[in-house]
Amino acid sequence: MVIDIDGKVSGLLVSKVSDILDITSEMIQDVPVTTADETDPLVSGLIAFDGRLIGLLRLGSVAEQALEKAV
């Protein structure tokens, strides 16, 4: 998967893709306050879809943490 974060193009290696979904902004729910401290800054929203709860990742934060651990 290729991503663009703030004009920096990077690649992500994924082990499995189960579905590709069309998501609208109306489908994105806020992260509950009770878990926001634990998930922030990695999860920016939640999507309820087909009986599943999917976390919307902040790729910039995920990439930043991965780079910090790599050094």
Q: Between 5 and 53, where is the model more confident?
A: 53
**37: containing domain:** 17-70
Q: Assess if residue 12 is contained within a domain.
A: no
Overall domain count for the chain: 1
Q: Assess if residue 9 is contained within a domain.
A: no
pLDDT tens-digit profile of 10-67? 788 889 988 899 999 999 999 887 655 555 578 889 999 999 999 998 888 877 777 7
Reduce the DSSP state of residue 28 to 3 states and report it.
strand
Q: What pairing do the DSSP bridges indicate for beta strands 52-57 and 43-49?
A: antiparallel
- The residue assigned the tokens 């193009």 is 9
Confidence of residue 5 (pLDDT cuts 50, 70, 90): confident
Reduce the DSSP state of residue 62 to 3 states and report it.
helix
Q: Assess if residue 31 is contained within a domain.
A: yes
Q: Assess if residue 11 is contained within a domain.
A: no
Task: Output the pLDDT for position 62.
Answer: 78
